[in-house]
């Protein structure tokens, strides 16, 4: 008989959405592999494409848990990562009330959302000379903000998942996202301390 007392404990449901060509599916695969192979947890990965792969809507659904995952599909994500306006418009209504929203700030206008984390992932990727690495920057940002997977597991999985010869550049992209996430958290902590008068 299955022990269900801890079902749902430390379970995170994540949707990464965008359009074909942004590497959304690869980002989801990296996250799931980092959890399973790097952090030795359970994970599932489901991908969905629109009618055309490049330019069409797509999303990756990842479940990460310390327990066996019986159902891989997501209805109410804990974390929603939006790399396109269409993805935001489609999934924002499903995000849990206390869920975490991450967006590419140059591509998504989070109408109505009061609490979200933003990073100019595509702009940073363009500055690195590789627009296609916006997804890796977003994975670094997500890792820093949510702690869903360990940074070591995420970095190793990025290096193992990208084309040979691009590992160093992709790790640099991951670190850019990671650093942006840490800076964002530090800024929020400082702002909160200012509001409460707490000295650190």
57, 24 contact by CB (below 8 A): no
Q: What's the Cα-to-Cα distance from 34 to each of 22, 37, 77, 139, rounded to whole Å?
A: 20, 6, 19, 11
Confidence of residue 51 (pLDDT cuts 50, 70, 90): low
Task: Spell out the residues 6+ positions from residue 165 whose beta carbon is closer than 8 angstroms to its own.
Answer: none
At residue 77, does pLDDT exceed 50?
Answer: yes
Coil, strand or helix at 60: strand
Handedness of CA 22, 168, 187, 11 (dihedral sign): positive
Q: How far is it, in rounded angstroms, from Cα 129 to Cα 24? A: 19
- Tokens for 67, please give them: 């327990």
- Global pTM reads 0.90
Distance between CA atoms of residues 159 and 58, nearest Å: 24
pLDDT in tens, 111-170: 988 899 999 999 999 999 998 999 999 999 999 999 999 999 999 999 999 999 999 999
pLDDT tens profile 17-50: 999 889 999 999 999 999 999 999 999 999 987 6
On whether the CB atoms of residues 67 and 9 are closer than 8 A, the answer is yes
Quick one: which of 110, 173, 124, 109 has its CA closest to 100? 110
């Amino acid at each position: 008989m299955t022990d269900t007392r801890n079902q749902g404990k430390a379970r995170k449901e994540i949707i990464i959405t965008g359009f074909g060509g942004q590497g959304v599916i690869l980002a989801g695969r990296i996250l799931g592999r980092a959890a399973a192979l790097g952090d030795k947890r359970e994970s599932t990965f489901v991908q969905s494409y629109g009618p055309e792969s490049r330019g069409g809507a797509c999303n990756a659904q990842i479940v990460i848990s310390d327990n066996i995952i019986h159902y891989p599909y997501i209805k109410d994500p804990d974390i929603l990562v939006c790399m396109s306006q269409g993805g935001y418009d489609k999934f924002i209504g499903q995000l849990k009330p206390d869920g975490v929203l991450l967006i590419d700030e140059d591509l998504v206008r989070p109408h109505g959302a009061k609490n979200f984390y933003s990073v100019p992932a595509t702009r940073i990727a363009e500055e690195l000379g590789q627009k296609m690495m916006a997804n890796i920057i977003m994975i670094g940002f997500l890792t820093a903000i949510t702690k869903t997977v360990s940074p070591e597991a995420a970095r190793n999985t990025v290096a193992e998942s990208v084309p040979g010869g691009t590992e160093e550049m992709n790790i640099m992209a991951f670190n850019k996202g990671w650093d942006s996430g840490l800076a964002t958290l530090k800024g929020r902590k400082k702002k909160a301390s200012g509001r409460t008068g707490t000295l650190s």
